Structure 1
Amino acid sequence: MSAQKVWLITGTSTGLGRSLAETVIARGDMLVATVRNQGAGRELTELAPDRVKVVTMDVTDAAAIRSCVQEAYRAFGRIDVLVNNAGYGLFGAVEEITEEQIRRQLETNLTGSILMTKEVLPRMREQRSGHIIQISSVGGQLATPGLSIYHATKWGIEGFCESLAGEVAAFGIKVTIVEPGGIRTDWAGRSMDHGDILAAYEGTPIAQIRQMREELVPSGDPDKMARVIAGLTLRDDAPLRLTLGSDAYTLLQQILPKRLEQLEAEKVLTLSTDTEHAGAASDGWKQLLK
Structure 2
Amino acid sequence: MAEPKVWFITGAGRGIGSDVVTAALMAGHFVVATACDAAAVTDEVGEHDRLLALAMDVTDQAAVDGAVRLAVDRFGRIDVLVNNAGRFHTGFFETLSPEQVRAQMEVNFFGTLNVTRAILPVMRAQRRGHVVTVSALLGIIGAPFVSMFSASKFALEGWMESIASELEPFGIATTIVEPGAFRTKPLKDRGRTVFPDFAIEDYAEATERHTASVKAFNGHEPGHRQKLASAFVTVVDMEPPPKRWVAGQDAVDGIIAKGSSARRRRYRVCQAIDWPRA
Among 176, 197, 200, the residue aligned to 1:198: 200
1:199-254 per-position Cα deviation (integer Å, ceiling 9, x unaligned): 311454x5543343233320111110001111112111311111111111121121
Give the SS at the match of 2:54.
Answer: strand
Shift of 1:154: 0.1
Give the SS at the match of 1:91.
Answer: coil
Is 1:213 the equivalent of 2:198? no
Measured at CA, do residues 239 and 98 of structure 1 come closer, stay the same or move farther in structure 2, by a change above 3 Å?
Answer: same
Asked whether the equivalents of residues 135 and 178 of structure 2 are also in contact (C-alpha less than 8 Å), the reply is yes
Give the whole-Å Cα distance in 2 for the aligned partners of 1:167 and 1:190: 37
Within a 5 Å distance, the mapping from 1:110-259 to structure 2 comes to: 110-186=109-185, 189-195=190-196, 196-204=198-206, 207-216=208-217, 217-259=220-262
Give the SS at the match of 2:74.
Answer: helix
Aligned letter for 2:248? Answer: G
Q: TM-score, normalised by structure 2?
A: 0.91
Give the whole-Å Cα distance in 2 for the aligned partners of 1:54 and 1:174: 25
Asked whether the equivalents of residues 45 and 54 of structure 1 are also in contact (C-alpha less than 8 Å), the reply is no
Aligned letter for 1:214? Answer: K
Q: TM-score, normalised by structure 1?
A: 0.87
Quote the residue 1:48 is aligned against.
Answer: 48
Asked whether the equivalents of residues 129 and 172 of structure 1 are also in contact (C-alpha less than 8 Å), the reply is yes
Aligned letter for 2:60? Answer: D
Measured at CA, do residues 133 and 273 of structure 1 come closer, stay the same or move farther in structure 2, by a change above 3 Å?
Answer: farther
Give the whole-Å Cα distance in 1 for the aligned partners of 2:114 and 2:274: 38
Measured at CA, do residues 45 and 149 of structure 1 come closer, stay the same or move farther in structure 2, by a change above 3 Å?
Answer: closer
Give the SS at the match of 2:226.
Answer: helix
Give the whole-Å Cα distance in 1 for the aligned partners of 2:3 and 2:47: 20
Give the SS at the match of 2:245.
Answer: strand
Give the whole-Å Cα distance in 2 for the aligned partners of 1:186 and 1:30: 26
Asked whether the equivalents of residues 45 and 53 of structure 1 are also in contact (C-alpha less than 8 Å), the reply is no
Is 1:6 the equivalent of 2:9? no
Give the whole-Å Cα distance in 1 for the aligned partners of 2:4 and 2:276: 54
Aligned letter for 1:70? Answer: R
Quote the residue 2:33 is aligned against.
Answer: 33
Shift of 1:273: 9.2
Asked whether the equivalents of residues 9 and 33 of structure 1 are also in contact (C-alpha less than 8 Å), the reply is yes
Quote the residue 1:285 is aligned against.
Answer: none
Shift of 1:27: 1.3
1:142-171 per-position Cα deviation (integer Å, ceiling 9, x unaligned): 011111110110000010001111111121
Asked whether the equivalents of residues 127 and 171 of structure 2 are also in contact (C-alpha less than 8 Å), the reply is yes
Give the SS at the match of 2:39.
Answer: coil
Aligned letter for 1:240? Answer: K
Aligned letter for 1:13? Answer: G
Q: Give the aligned CA root-mean-square deviation in angstroms.
A: 2.2
Quote the residue 2:108 is aligned against.
Answer: 109
Measured at CA, do residues 273 and 194 of structure 1 come closer, stay the same or move farther in structure 2, by a change above 3 Å?
Answer: farther
Give the whole-Å Cα distance in 2 for the aligned partners of 1:118 and 1:22: 25
Asked whether the equivalents of residues 9 and 33 of structure 2 are also in contact (C-alpha less than 8 Å), the reply is yes
Unpaired segments of 5 or more residues in structure 2? none
Asked whether the equivalents of residues 178 and 241 of structure 1 are also in contact (C-alpha less than 8 Å), the reply is yes
Give the whole-Å Cα distance in 1 for the aligned partners of 2:30 and 2:235: 16
Q: Which sits farther off after the overlay, 185-194 or 165-174?
A: 185-194
Give the whole-Å Cα distance in 1 for the aligned partners of 2:150 and 2:26: 33
1:13-65 per-position Cα deviation (integer Å, ceiling 9, x unaligned): 1100000001111111111100112522234674413x111110111111111
Asked whether the equivalents of residues 18 and 45 of structure 2 are also in contact (C-alpha less than 8 Å), the reply is no
Shift of 1:255: 1.2
Measured at CA, do residues 173 and 271 of structure 1 come closer, stay the same or move farther in structure 2, by a change above 3 Å?
Answer: farther
